[in-house]
Amino acid sequence: MAADSMEIDDALYSRQRYVLGDTAMQKMARSHVFLSGVGGLGVEIAKNIVLAGVKALTVHDTKQCTKWDLGINFFIHEDDISSQRNRAEATLHHIAELNPYVHVAASTVPLDETTDLSFLKQFQCVILTEASLSLQKKIDDFCHAQQPPIKFISADVYGVCSRLFCDFGDEFEVLDTTGEEPKEIFISNITQSNPGIVTCLENHPHRLETGQLVTFREVNGMSCLNGSTHQVTVVSPYSFSIGDTSDMEPYLHGGIAVQVKTTKMFYFERLEKQLTNPLCLVADFSKPEAPLQIHVAMLALSRFQESFGRAPNIGCLQDAEEMLKIAVSISETLENKPQVNGDRVKWLSRTARGFLAPLAAAVGGVASQEVLKAVTGKFSPLQQWLYIDMLDIVTPLEKLGSEEFLPRGDRYDALRACIGDSLCQKLHDLNVFLVGCGAIGCEMLKNFALLGVGTGQDKGLVTITDPDLIEKSNLNRQFLFRPHHIQKPKSYTAAEATLNINPYLKIDSYINKVCPATENTYSDEFYSKQDVVVTALDNVEARRYIDSRCVANLRPLLDSGTMGTKGHTEVIVPHLTESYNSHRDPPEEEIPFCTLKSFPAAIEHTIQWARDKFESLFSHKPSLFNKFWQTYPSAEEVLQRIKSGESLEGCFHVIKTLSRRPRNWTQCVELARVKFEKYFSHKALQLLHSFPLDTRLKDGSLFWQSPKRPPFPVKFDFNDPLHYDFIVSAAKLFATVYCVPFTDKDLSEESILKITSAVKVPEFRPSNKV
């Protein structure tokens, strides 16, 4: 995205553009962001926001690369350690090459309680990781006091616990809290009462919330509602009230209520105040008490570091007891006086020097989303704390001796400090099968490399497969790929990039689909050798097939996927959980053919209609034509067999295609113009001829009432960009299908105008066919 001209590179940002919209994308492309701390969490955040496309990012760090970093930072390598490079400088090039539109700079100057913070005024968002609590408070106070406020985010991962804090100023306006398309509700009735009750069509819930606004259109009877806006009070899933309608005309029929998107104001408090009365998001509803308990534990950790000038020693029970005492005293100073969870405090103390890469990936993803919200004003922000722990992983390790967690001097010391050496060895010896090397697949491989999955001396192997080639649009979210990888196989490229993170990884890459046709490769014997199967797919059919193979071979399956701003994960374990195929979404409601052809009522109908037309004109009919000549390659033979009275399948279609096919560019444009008239004028006129607006059914009710909507013919206007684009696009498609050459001059507006002006458009002749 070129920030100066605000032109959006659609080839790169097409998927993200669909989710965020152009306004948010342009705001992001004007944003300067400061990130302090390029450890395992900081590099995750840097990666994500550079891929998203901010204008500039400054990464700050004063620490040198160490062996420890190899297991937590995927952009730091052995030579960075031997040359004792600064972490910001070592990662700068790798972060910058993720997106050519983002300017990335490094800073290595000290940042502490004595630093003049005026340099932060150039940034719209400031992110701190690995900073002391006192420094966080000082910088947050500075950011909060600016006009407009600088958005402040702090995030940390300590062993098995993590925290994220946001302060976007006293008032923060969000333009769109959900990013969802406004809901359209078809109306079946509106009562003449106080309050007036609006009822939806049967089996079409409105999905509105109390307090939201709707505007009305196409209402017959209570016509004064059309164009007016009303606040909704939900009565039931199929009805809502809108205020007094008792003085309005009686409702007759029809009408659509459209949700009105409104801005929402969010209010934030400074970090200093939030420390004693935190507003926490509950991430796990099975443990609603956890956020406050982790909050106390984290504050105790900060107090311990300030008091002793160090973090608690790995596995040290004495330090854990000391931190527990601090936690109890801190709890008494908080407004809610939360109960202290001794296990959480002790495990945080024992693992605080360690680092879990998957936890950092999750927290880094959330923190990056908050950055995008901060600079775009889109989507509801976090208010104001998020705490996540992985206590479930370490609780079974209670009886292990402290020596299990002590450093061995290799790249896995940070992981070992959290889960012990025995679990590290189990990860090294795992055989993992990963299906799909897209956005999620790249993240999985990065985590495998940092965890040392498949690196055992005698055991362990990561097998990956993906049949796709890399496209430019992949580069926006699949961080293992670069522009010079375009049109190369995803799996081979991903394997090579993963080995750059951890050269000790054993990885086999394939370009096969996983389906019944490849069961010779991915046989029962192959599955039986896998310790776990991981899917990172983009379709349900493939998931169901792989799930069936895992069930047959009793293999655990980890499934995940995303769509827009939404995502899911599912862990499937034999004899413990249900399988993927055990639960199915309700079948999608099929759109009746008559609705598509004549009575489209929703945008989904028009999209499906357009898709059907496209498939018919540019895929199905040409395929039938080609198939006929593959079956009967000789035109002379076809003529002789027709003359002899033989009926050849597809012959009529071939003759029709040959008689109507365009033979030059002019005829392609003429055909496009005729199609426009047919689709957008004649079809509407025919419907209105067959069913005039006052047509009534046998029971006396009007034919044209919800959900049917009467059509209105469109008059072709060359100066309308939508009409012009249809002509050019359709003409280019016809030319491509029928192998008609065209030049840039043919595509000029002058040339198109000359041809369309001369087209003899057939007059509409009504048919009596219904």
The predicted pLDDT at position 676 comes to 95
Residues identified as active-site:
594
- The answer to whether the CB of 304 falls within 8 A of the CB of 345 is no
Round to whole Å and give the CA distance between 50 and 55. Answer: 9
Spatial neighbors of 673 by CB under 8 A, at least 6 apart, are 716, 727, 755, 756, 759, 761
Q: What is the mean pLDDT of residues 550-575?
A: 93
Confidence (pTM): 0.83
Spatial strand order in the sheet of 161-167: 103-107, 56-60, 32-36, 125-129, 151-158, 161-167, 385-389, 280-281
Question: Which CATH fold topology does 594-758 show?
Answer: Arc Repressor Mutant, subunit A (1.10.10)
Tell me, what amino acid is at 646? E
The number of beta carbons lying within 10 Å of the beta carbon of residue 657 is 16
More reliable by pLDDT, 627 or 554: 554
Percent of the chain with pLDDT over 70: 97
Here the tokens at position 555 are 């293999």
More reliable by pLDDT, 646 or 66: 66
CA distances from 735 to 606, 664, 750 (A): 25, 8, 19
Q: What is the mean pLDDT of residues 199-210?
A: 88
Q: What is the mean pLDDT of residues 60-79?
A: 96
Element (H, E) at 557: strand 557-563
The greatest distance separating any two alpha carbons of the chain, rounded to the nearest whole angstrom, comes to 103
706: number of CA atoms within 13 Å, CB side?
Answer: 24
- The answer to whether the CB of 487 falls within 8 A of the CB of 505 is no
Q: What is the mean pLDDT of residues 341-357?
A: 95
User: What's the burial of 137, exposed, middle or buried (CB within 10 Å: 0-12/13-18/19+)?
Assistant: middle
Per the DSSP assignment, residues forming a β-bridge with 64 are: 86
CATH code of domain 10-175+362-376:
3.40.50.720
More reliable by pLDDT, 60 or 255: 60
Q: Per-residue pLDDT for 770 more than 80? A: no
- The answer to whether the CB of 517 falls within 8 A of the CB of 542 is no
Is the N-terminal amide bond of 707 cis, ω within 30° of 0? yes
The predicted pLDDT at position 722 comes to 95
What mean pLDDT is reported for the chain?
92
Round to whole Å and give the CA distance between 540 and 489. Answer: 22
Q: With cut-offs at 50, 70 and 90, classify the pLDDT of residue 586.
A: low
More reliable by pLDDT, 258 or 3: 258
HEC profile of 477-516: CCCCCCHHHCCCEHHHHHHHHHHHHCCCCCEEEECCCCCH
- The answer to whether the CB of 129 falls within 8 A of the CB of 35 is yes
Measured CA angle at 394 (ends 391, 396), to 5 deg: 115
Element (H, E) at 621: helix 621-631
The predicted pLDDT at position 590 comes to 56
Question: Which has the minimum average pLDDT: 131-140, 327-336, 506-515, 610-619?
Answer: 610-619
574: number of CA atoms within 13 Å, CB side?
Answer: 13
The predicted pLDDT at position 587 comes to 62
Q: With cut-offs at 50, 70 and 90, classify the pLDDT of residue 4.
A: very low
The number of beta carbons lying within 10 Å of the beta carbon of residue 2 is 10
Q: Per-residue pLDDT for 595 more than 60? A: no
- The answer to whether the CB of 205 falls within 8 A of the CB of 710 is no
The predicted pLDDT at position 5 comes to 47
pLDDT tens digit sequence for 132-150: 999 999 999 999 999 999 9
The predicted pLDDT at position 649 comes to 74
Here the tokens at position 137 are 């408070």
The predicted pLDDT at position 571 comes to 95
Here the tokens at position 539 are 């379709």
Round to whole Å and give the CA distance between 676 and 674. Answer: 5
Per the DSSP assignment, residues forming a β-bridge with 184 are: 258
Q: With cut-offs at 50, 70 and 90, classify the pLDDT of residue 389.
A: very high
Round to whole Å and give the CA distance between 511 and 437. Answer: 10
Q: Could you tell me the residue ranges of all domains in the chain?
A: 10-175+362-376, 184-260, 429-585, 594-758
Q: What is the mean pLDDT of residues 384-411?
A: 92
Q: What is the mean pLDDT of residues 641-654?
A: 75
Nearest to residue 367, comparing CAs of 14, 56, 3, 33?
33
Here the tokens at position 566 are 């939404």
Pairing assessment for the beta strands 197-200 and 161-167 based on DSSP bridges: unpaired
DSSP 571-607: EE-TTTS--GGGS-PPPPPPPPHHHHHH---SHHHHH
The predicted pLDDT at position 2 comes to 45
Round to whole Å and give the CA distance between 128 and 7. Answer: 31
Instruction: Say whether 594-758 and 10-175+362-376 share the same fold.
Output: no
Round to whole Å and give the CA distance between 654 and 296. Answer: 77
Q: With cut-offs at 50, 70 and 90, classify the pLDDT of residue 333.
A: very high
Domain 429-585 top-level CATH class: alpha beta
Element (H, E) at 18: helix 10-20
Q: With cut-offs at 50, 70 and 90, classify the pLDDT of residue 606.
A: confident
The predicted pLDDT at position 1 comes to 53
Q: Which CATH superfamily is domain 184-260 in?
A: Ubiquitin-activating enzyme E1, FCCH domain (2.40.30.180)
Q: Per-residue pLDDT for 3 more than 70? A: no
Q: What is the mean pLDDT of residues 452-463?
A: 95
Here the tokens at position 389 are 């722990």
Here the tokens at position 621 are 């009919």
Grouping H, G, I as helix, E, B as strand and the rest as coil, residue 608 is helix
- The answer to whether the CB of 234 falls within 8 A of the CB of 220 is no
Instruction: Report, in angstroms and rounded to the nearest whole number, the Rg of the chain calculated over CA atoms.
Output: 32
Grouping H, G, I as helix, E, B as strand and the rest as coil, residue 633 is coil
